[in-house]
A and B are shown apart, each in its own frame.
Chain A
Amino acid sequence: MNELFLVIHQTAPLLGEVEANARDVRRRAQSAAGVDLVAFPELALTGYSLRTRVQRLARPLEETLSLGLPAGLPPLAFSVPERGRDQLVYNTAVLLHGTRILARHRKVYLPTYGPFDEGRYFARGREAPGVVTLPCGWRVGLLVCEDFWHPALLYLLAAQGTDLILVLSAAIGRGDPGEGPDTPGPLFSSTRSWELLARAAALQYGVFLALANRAGVEEGLTFAGGSLVVAPDGEVLARAPQGEPAVLEARLSPGALRQARTPFAHLRDEDPGFLQRALSRMVKEGGEAGGS
């Protein structure tokens, strides 16, 4: 397995302006010569705060992806409002290679609290995220934004042998970052939490972890940006600025996976069967996490 060249486009999509956003994605994708994987943020084609507009903009996945891209481009990852066969609308991350859909993940955890109301407009994905092998040989798993805050999904991807967890997000900025060595950037403290989680997950499972977050503004919300790529040893390989569009490039070495998994046997010692038995018993007994 060779090095993986990952490019994250930290874009600022315009809300509801699908044509303009698709043009931007097309233009960026076409400049991806020599790249193994290109990632865009959550809902990069439509904007985030769609509310009832999702009903108008949602399309079956195959229709949504007719971006008019030329052949020969690397796989692209982004999320779209998908009209499922059941006529429900999902926030779906796709990995597109040419006209082929390599992978699809419907967002499972829809934030519906504070400034978020995704649960009102999207249906919840019911399938566990899967892992797909890219043409370059790397195994990748997709998550969408809030999914990342639920460790069970990270576990599921790690247990399936992913090399890279790619999180597409539209994380809003909040909180004054203050000053000091841990200041994540000039705009928002919330970026620090995302980075902490990313570093912990990468270290815990010995995987690369990439966050493709968006920039820009929608209806009073400023998206935090701060996309990043973390190595399996928990160190940040690349970090985009907060709050503004940027292009983030990172070369991921398979040697880093090997190094991370040599001294630490966490991934080797994971036991999905043990977990399954424990969860089955818990569910059967109607108990809750932490119950005796």
Chain B
Amino acid sequence: MDPERPFRIVTGVLREALRNSDRKGVVVAGGGPELRLLSEWIQRAGIPWEVPPPELVRGARALLDQGGAPVGEAGRAGRTDPTVDPGEEAAVWAATGLAGSALARGRHALLVGTESKTCLLLGYHPTGASILPLGDLYASEILAMAGGCTAPNPLRSYPPSTLLAVDRALRSHFEEGAGEETAFRNLPSPLRDAVGIALDRARGFWRPAPLIPKMGSATLGIDLDL
């Protein structure tokens, strides 16, 4: 995928959102290759940006631990590293979101998340970002542009080629109108089951999506709900 296309669309939407909200910059709460890619684009577009510093994330984590905020495994798609505990990862993610939110409020900035469409479809629930600039790009598209990507929980122990197959199936189902059975029939059985469970779970937990720049034919929050 030519990154110039998503760059133009994403930064156009960010500029419009900043103008409409009378904010001067963005705070990016996220991680992994998505954060790297998105921050490159934002930097190149000349939009002021920050990420929450580690001490703020640590403070937010302590606050969450004390308050017993409900941060469940279902709340967060994981990274590709299968050794990372999903619960711990979810807690780190929630803390990043909370720290980002605090920083954005203090800076009078827009809070921006880094989730891909794959992660959104398979179970991540937005926790406060106003905009998900990468939310209409599949993880495999991020992989092609950034050399890496965050995979959702059901795929964390599979090789990247699996990601391509799952994204193809998701695209077939959500954008080309194929039924689930048809779209997912070529996935190996355990993976097919895991994807099905993740989709069901995502549907169960789904809330209205933040603003997602439209690139494809079925964009979450614009013309698609789970």
- Contacts A114-B222, A172-B214, A186-B4 known; list 6 others, CB within 8 Å: A173-B9, A174-B215, A216-B16, A219-B16, A220-B212, A222-B9
Q: A15-B20, A217-B15, A222-B9 are in contact. Are A186 and B2 (CB under 8 A)?
A: yes
Contact of B217 among A15, A174, A217, A220 (CB under 8 A): A174
- The proximity string for B residues 180-221 relative to A, scoring 1 for CB distances below 8 Å and 0 otherwise, is 000000000000000000000000000000011111110101
**5 closest Cβ contacts across the A-B interface?**
A114-B223, A217-B16, A115-B223, A217-B12, A115-B222
The range of chain B's interface size is 20 to 34
Complex alpha-carbon distance, A15 and B19, angstroms:
11
Per-position contact with B for A23-34: 1 when CB-CB < 8 Å, else 0?
A: 000000000000
Partner of A115 from B5, B19, B214 at Cβ < 8 Å:
B214
- B12 lies within 8 A of A222 (CB): yes
Please report the C-alpha to C-alpha distance between residue A114 and residue B174 in the assembled complex, in whole angstroms: 12
CA distance A219 to B20 in the complex (A): 9
A13 → chain B closest CB, angstroms: 12
Asked if A174 and B2 make an inter-chain contact with CB atoms under 8 angstroms apart, the answer reads no
Min C-beta distance of B166 to chain A, whole Å: 18
Within 8 A of B (CB), among A218-233: 218-222
Tell me if A141 counts as interface (CB < 8 A to partner B): no
**Chain B residue contacts of A186, Cβ below 8 A:** 2, 4-5, 8
B92 at the interface (CB under 8 A from A): no
Question: Cβ of A235 < 8 Å from any Cβ of B?
Answer: no
* Chain B residues close to A by CB (< 8 Å): 1-2, 4-5, 8-9, 12-13, 15-16, 19-20, 211-217, 219, 221-223
Q: Which residues of A contact B (CB under 8 A)?
A: 14-15, 114-115, 172-177, 186-187, 216-222, 243
Determine the distance from Cα of A186 to Cα of B4 in the docked complex, in whole angstroms.
Answer: 8
Query: A220's contact among B19, B216, B219, by CB below 8 Å, is which?
Result: B219
User: Are B5 and A220 closer than 8 Å at their CB atoms?
Assistant: no
What separation, in Å, do the CA atoms of A176 and B8 have in the docked complex? 13
Instruction: A186 to B5: give the CA distance in the assembly, Å.
Output: 6
Q: Chain B contacts of A217 at CB under 8 A? A: 12-13, 15-16
In angstroms, Cα B132 to Cα A220, docked, is 10
**A14, A174, A219: the one within 8 Å of B216 (CB):** A174
Alpha-carbon distance A14/B20, docked complex (angstroms): 9
Query: A218, B216: Cβ atoms under 8 Å?
Result: no
List 16 contacting pairs A-B, 8 Å CB cutoff, sorted by A.
A115-B222, A174-B217, A175-B217, A176-B1, A186-B2, A217-B13, A217-B15, A219-B16, A220-B13, A220-B211, A220-B213, A220-B214, A220-B221, A220-B222, A221-B222, A243-B12
| Nearest-neighbor residue (CB-CB) of B1 within chain A | A176
Closest chain B residue to A221 by CB distance? B214
Compute how far the CA of A220 lies from the CA of B131 in the bound complex, rounded to whole angstroms: 9
Closest chain A CB from B208 CB (angstroms) = 13
Residue of B nearest to A242 (CB): B8
Q: Is the beta-carbon distance between B5 and A222 smaller than 8 angstroms? A: no
Contact indicator B214/A222 (Cβ below 8 Å): yes
Of A15, A175, A186, A217, most buried by chain B (CB within 10 Å of CB) is A217
* C-alpha spacing A114/B219, complex, angstroms: 9
Contact A219 B211 (CB under 8 A): yes
Contact A187 B8 (CB under 8 A): yes
Give CA–CA (A274, B38) in the complex, Å. 59
